[in-house]
């Protein structure tokens, strides 16, 4: 059975454990050949920032989980344009090797196109 699955990543990378646990669930799904599409919105856009120094607050970097996505053939991530602009960020500050980023102007319509949504 094949379903289109969206993972909604809304949590700040180190402010909420569900940021990391959400990515772990995404990787588990991808390993079972149910790779979801990922949409980052609200404070979740901070997960994608390059130059994170997680060690300085005794945390594991979420970047490692994100970089593992390409192993499972996920080569594109979607980011809510409004969330990014509201936080005064731009695409150039969100870089992951081998993974493209596409901005989404209308997240409501984007989300509605999926069969299931995993909300983190």
Q: In whole angstroms, how close is the CB of 101 to other proteins at the nearest point?
A: 25
- C-alpha span between 12 and 2 (Å, rounded): 30
| x-or-dash string of contact with other proteins, 11-40, rule CB under 8 A | ------xx--x--xx--xx--x-x------
- SS3 readout for 68-116: HHHHHCCCEEEEEHHHHHHCCCCHHHCCECCEEEEEECCHHHHHHCCCE
106 in contact with other proteins (CB under 8 A): no
Chain residues binding other proteins by CB under 8 A are: 1, 3, 5, 17-18, 21, 24-25, 28-29, 32, 34, 116-119
């Amino acid at each position: 059975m094949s379903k289109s699955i969206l993972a909604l990543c809304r949590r700040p990378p180190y402010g909420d454990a569900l940021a990391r646990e959400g990515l772990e669930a995404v990787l588990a799904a991808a390993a079972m050949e149910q790779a979801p599409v990922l949409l980052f919105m609200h404070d979740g856009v901070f997960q994608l920032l390059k130059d994170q120094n997680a060690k300085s607050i005794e945390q594991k970097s979420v970047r490692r989980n994100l970089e593992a996505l390409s192993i499972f053939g996920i080569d594109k991530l979607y980011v809510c344009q409004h969330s990014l602009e509201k936080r005064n960020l731009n695409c150039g500050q969100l870089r992951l090797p081998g993974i493209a980023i596409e901005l989404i102007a209308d997240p409501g319509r984007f989300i509605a196109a999926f069969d299931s949504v995993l909300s983190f």
